[in-house]
Structure 1
């Protein structure tokens, strides 16, 4: 059973990275106001939300599996307060910090209509910090980080998110079109 919990913890962590990568990229595409080939804008938003939800569920299963795993010897406090663990305090602390941000982003996503767009956007911007923190946690604490298959997933995820963020920062990004019109460019 111990090995099954360890495998479940590892597998859900890696799979969560993939789903949160997809969510991050689609969140940027959604903000651009563009559709994807064969998928209208509302479809992109729906897939973004679904990928985020699946990613959150996988993170929770990842945490619960490792909490139950006697080999990991993690305590509940390790999942709430970053950098206090006896085991790889920095790398595990990054995972805890990523979860804390993920919780805030998820909560504001669920309460968007109650808290308003401005608060939602302000908290949602922290996803730009969440992803690299979670990514670093996976590289530093993941027992599979030395395997070629894991590195391929990690590099692919990093390239995809970096490309999306660079595209997001371009001045011809759709969001900035009203600013360009106001400036007369």
Structure 2
């Protein structure tokens, strides 16, 4: 595989991972509400949320794996774990590392959900509210397509979806607050 192909596939997987992460965050908010979403019952919203989260995780793994193999990216194994050490745009790459580290913790706690209990699971899952904007900042700051109209349209749609979900979640008539 040529360097250009690795670079293109790595970037593309990162962009699609951001889209799946956006869907996962939005559906995670919807699933927490206890209400059906459009025509989907609550269990279906949860299932699609899990599928989107797993897809995002696999796409992130492909993103970093492909860029690790790409000689242009010059990634080292330590760059996947310790943020802000990268050779290229260390701040923006470091934000990607922070997002991956948080993602890893969320995945591990998801796998251990039955053993750690719902309170710890829920507390750690709240980290996704921080992970998503960090991943978005990484995409905007480190992405070589961040000045392209098509990428800005995708990023804008992702931001609008998460913003709308959060506004919906924080409304006074949100079902968790109905009895308050």
Structure-1-length-normalised TM-score: 0.95
Correspondence for 1:80: 81
Correspondence for 2:22: 21
Aligned residues: 179
Correspondence for 1:150: 151
Distance in 1, Cα, partners of 2:95 & 2:76: 16
**1:11 Cα deviation (Å)?**
0.4
After superposing on structure 2, the runs of 4+ consecutive aligned residues of structure 1 that deviate more than 3 Å are: none
**1:165 Cα deviation (Å)?**
0.8
- Is residue 167 of structure 1 aligned with residue 176 of structure 2? no
**1:64 Cα deviation (Å)?**
0.3
**1:111 Cα deviation (Å)?**
1.1
Distance in 2, Cα, partners of 1:173 & 1:39: 18
**1:38 Cα deviation (Å)?**
2.1
Which runs of 5 or more structure 1 residues have no equivalent in the other structure?
181-185
Distance in 1, Cα, partners of 2:178 & 2:125: 22
Correspondence for 1:40: 41
Give the number of the structure whose alpha-carbon radius of gyration is greater: 1
Structure-2-length-normalised TM-score: 0.97
The farther-off stretch of 53-62 and 101-110 is 101-110
Distance in 2, Cα, partners of 1:172 & 1:38: 20
Distance in 2, Cα, partners of 1:36 & 1:98: 28
Correspondence for 2:104: 103
Correspondence for 2:141: 140
Which runs of 5 or more structure 2 residues have no equivalent in the other structure?
none
The farther-off stretch of 20-29 and 78-87 is 78-87
Distance in 2, Cα, partners of 1:78 & 1:37: 41
